[in-house]
Amino acid sequence: MESDHPKGLSIARQCDLLGISRSSFYYEAKGESPLNLKLMRMIDEQFLETPWYGSRQMARWLRREGHRVGRKRVVRLMRKMGLTPCQSALKVDPG
């Protein structure tokens, strides 16, 4: 997309040809807040130690560390980092 198109196509026409809204052309992503980046770093470090922690346990751990976080926020951050907990093997009574 070019704002000064040589053929004189307006931005509205270019967006229409590409099938996107004009607001999408002007949209700039904000990125994560410094607090979220800190939480992501903490989640990553803890996940290396406890790869079986899911979002509930990770949120509980962050709250014990003094951060006010909800599970949905932890879910979003873990998903953004591509972290999925490994399933711990079920312990079966041999006897």
For 31-41, what is each residue's pLDDT tens digit?
999 999 999 99
Domain count for the chain: 2
- For residue 11, is it within any domain? yes
Those residues with Cβ within 8 angstroms of residue 88's Cβ, 6 or more apart along the chain or in another chain: 52
Same structural domain, 47 and 12: no
Check whether residue 43 and residue 77 sit in a common domain. Answer: yes
How do the residues of the chain divide into helix, strand and coil, expressed in percent and rounded to 5?
Answer: 55, 0, 45
Query: What tokens appear for 30 in the block?
Result: 């904000």
Is 77 in the same domain as 47? yes
* Domain range enclosing 51: 34-81
pLDDT exceeds cutoff 70 at 5: no
Q: Do residues 25 and 41 both lie within one domain?
A: no
Average pLDDT over residues 47-60: 96
Residues 63 and 25 in one domain: no
SS3 for 85?
Answer: coil
The pLDDT value recorded for residue 87 is 76
Give domain status of residue 13, yes or no: yes
Q: Which residue has the higher pLDDT, 30 or 1?
A: 30
Under the banding of pLDDT at 50, 70 and 90, the label for residue 89 is low
